[in-house]
Amino acid sequence: MLFNSIQFAVFLPIVFALYWIIPYKFRWILLLAASYWFYMSWKPEYVVLILTTTIISYTSALLMENKPKKIKKYILTASAVICLGILFFFKYFNFFAEFLCGIIGIFTRKPDPIVLNLILPVGISFYTFQTLSYVIDVYKGTSQAERHLGKYAAFISFFPQLVAGPIERTNNLLPQIKAHHVFDYDKATYGLKIMAWGFFKKIAVADVLSLYTGQVFGTPEKYRGFSLVLAALMFTLQIYCDFSGYSDIAVGTAKLFGIDLMTNFKSPYFSQSIHDFWNRWHISLSTWFRDYVYIPLGGNRCSKFRHAFNLIVTFLVSGLWHGANYTFIIWGGIHGLGQTLENILISKENRESIGYVKWLRIFGVFTFSTIAWIFFASSSLNDALYIITHLFDGVSDFAGYLKSGFDDLNFKNQLLLVSITVLGFFDYYSLKKDVISVISSKKKNIRWAAYVLLVLWTLFNIQTTESDESMAFIYFQF
C-alpha cells in the first residue's frame, strides 16, 4: 500500500477514527493489526519475515536479562546472525553468489552462479535494523527488554515508518506505543500540514522529475553532454524529494496518533561540508551507522589512519545496505573518501562560512553529492562510467551544448521549475525557522490560501499515466 494511493486515503481515516474511539488499552492491538494489514497489502506471505525477526529479537532480549556478559554476547550474536541472515538471503544472496563465482573464475573456469528468483521484501532493511538496534541496546543496558510481545511487535511494525523509516530507536518509539495518548488537535493538524508538504515533494517534484531521469538512466547510451548533466541534477532533487517526502508523510501520519517520530532530513542540500550533509541526510540511518558501526570500530578516538579506515568502512557498509550492486558500494565509498579528505584538509572550525564563501561551499557539496548520485542512480557500473565520461561532450559549443540538453530531454515544464523554486525557499528558511509553524501563525485568509494552493498544486501535478510501480517511493527497494 502506497502513501500516494486511493487505498491509503481510505485506510488512514478508518484507522485514525478507530484509534481515538476505542479504549486506550486496546489501541496497541489496532496499531498492530493495521500495521500488518498495511504490510500484507504488498505481498501477504512475506509477513512471516517481519514476524520472525520480531519474535527472534523479542526472545533474545528477554533471554539476556540477568545473564553474564559472555552469555549475553552469545545471545546477541545468535540474534544478529539470524536476522541478518534473513536479510542476506533475500537481498544479497545472488550478488554474493556472482561475486564468489567471479573470484573463482580468476584462478580457474568460472562456474555458473546459483541464482534465486526472489522478490525483495519491502522494508526488510529498515525493520531488520530496528530490531537489531533494540537487541543491541538491551545488551548494552541502555534499554530494558520489553515483556509485552504485542506492544513490541507494534513498535517494530508501526505502519507509518515500517517500509522506509525513519529507523526508530527503542527509547523513543516504544514508550510512545505504550503511552496513553489524549487527542491533541494542534498536533494532529500540524501532522496533516507536514503530510501535505511531503505529498507536494513526492508528487509535484519527485514524480515529475522521474519522467526525465527514468529515460536517461534507463538508457544512458542514447544521451550525451548536457542532457546527462540535467539528468544527474534532476535525480539529485528527485531522490531527495522522494525520500524526504516519504519521511514527512510518515512523521505527519504518526502525529495523527499522538506519536512523534524523529526528523529524518534537515535541508541537506544547503550543507557546507560533507560531514554536515550526513548530519542532515537520512539522519536515522546515518546515526544508526554512527552508533552501531563507526563508534564500535573506534570512531575518531584513534590514530588518523584508523579514523580514516573507520569512516570508509562505515560508508562502504552503508552503501551495501542500500542495495546489492557495486554502484551502491562505490557511492558509499565516494562519500567515505570525501569525508576523510575533508577531515584532513579542513579543520572543524573552518567548515562553515558566511557570505559568498558559504554559497561556494554549498555549491561544492551539492556538486559532490550530484556526482556521487550518478553511481546510485545507475543500474550498472558501466552505465555510471559512461555518464561521467560523457557529461561534457560538445561543451566547446556552449550555447549548442545547453540547447541540445534541453532538446534531448524535451524539457518544457515551467511548472516543475516553480515547484523546485518553492522547495528551495522552503528548505532554506527551514534552516532557522519552522516554516509550517510560521505559516500557521499568519492570518486565517493568508494561511488557508497557502494550504489550498499547496493541495491544488499537488493534485494538478499528479501523473495520471503512471503505474503503481513508478508511483512507488525509491527507498522501497532498500
For residue 25, the number of C-alpha atoms closer than 13 Å in the C-beta half-sphere is 0
Note if 181 is an active site residue: no
Contact 334, 372 (CB under 8 A): yes
CA 204 to chain centre: 19
Q: Indicate the residue type of 179.
A: A
Angle at 48 between CA 168 and CA 59, to 5 degrees: 60
Q: Indicate the residue type of 420.
A: I
Contact 248, 197 (CB under 8 A): yes
Give the residue carrying C-alpha cell 550478488: 95
What backbone torsions phi and psi does residue 308 show, to the nearest 5 degrees?
-60, -40
361 Cβ neighbours under 8 A, 6+ residues apart: 272, 273, 352, 353
Nearest CA-CA partner of 388 in 321, 330, 311: 330
Nearest CA-CA partner of 131 in 50, 75, 32: 50
Contact 84, 57 (CB under 8 A): no
Q: Which of 282, 307, 322, 335 is catalytic?
A: 322
Contact 247, 198 (CB under 8 A): yes
Instruction: Point out the residues that are catalytic.
Output: 322
